[in-house]
Amino acid sequence: MRKIVIALVCVFVLVGGLYATASAGPYPDAVIKQAEQLKADADAKKDMPESLPGIKLIDGKELKKWMDAKKKYVLIDNRNKEQFTKEHITGAVLITVDELIGDPKLSDKLDKNVPLVLYCNGVKCWRSPAAALLYQSLGFKEIYWFRNGLPEWIKLDYATVEGGK
């Protein structure tokens, strides 16, 4: 009986340790809490912060200059798939913040030395600022947040496309 109890205790300790390791994830708790706060602010219809520490801001006119100059960067749309399929900025790739939280290895296909430009649905959208914090915690060095996002792009009458993955 004593051996069974010891074996069960060992199994519980092992399983508990594996669970704790798996649930810790690659993101620091502080980053996850910041992302959750951004989502709560968006749910409350609050504007996102004016800036984020260590994240550079870019506006639509500057992004358009980058495009026209064929500057090397990756443009990431952090909205959901339906929104992306309906309309997105030409050249954007879709990596939703929810996917990135669930699978940080999605960032492995990106070069950490190439600037990232992140956008979503403007100042009340939590997705691109949260993604910026996640990419920053994964070691990306040059992250630009297009805070005004797709609404500004459309207001400036720049081209968008539909479809894509």
pLDDT at 14: 35
Q: Are 110 and 131 a contacting pair, CB within 8 Å?
A: no
- Rounded Cα distance between 62 and 75, Å, is 13
Joined tokens for residue 21: 């390791």
Which residue has tokens 């720049």? 158
Predicted local confidence at residue 26, as pLDDT: 87
Residue 9 confidence (pLDDT): 37
At the fourth CATH level, the homologous superfamily of domain 27-161 is Rhodanese-like domain (3.40.250.10)
List the domain boundaries for the chain.
27-161
- Tokens at 162, concatenated: 């539909």
Cβ-based burial of 151 (10 A; exposed 0-12, middle 13-18, buried ≥19) = middle
Tokens at 98, concatenated = 């929810």
User: In angstroms, rounded to a whole number, what is the distance separating the alpha carbons of residues 34 and 59?
Assistant: 23
- Asked whether the predicted pLDDT for residue 109 surpasses 90, the reply is yes
Closest CA to 59 of 51, 97, 7: 51
* Comparison of pLDDT for 10 and 1, the residue scoring more: 1
pTM for the model stands at 0.83
Q: How confident is the model at residue 165 (pLDDT cuts 50, 70, 90)?
A: low
Q: For 39-68, how does the pLDDT look when each residue is reduced to its tens digit (9 = 90+)?
A: 999 999 999 999 999 999 999 999 999 999
Helix residue ranges, H only, the chain = 2-24, 29-43, 60-68, 81-86, 97-102, 127-137, 149-155
Distance CA 20, CA 126 (A): 28
- Angle at CA of residue 12, ends 11 and 16, nearest 5°: 120
* pLDDT tens figures, 63-108: 999 999 999 999 999 999 999 999 999 999 999 999 999 999 999 9
Torsion sign, CA atoms 102, 161, 117, 67: positive
CA 89/CA 87 separation, integer angstroms? 7
Task: Count Cα neighbours of 152 within 13 Å in the Cβ-side half-sphere.
Answer: 18
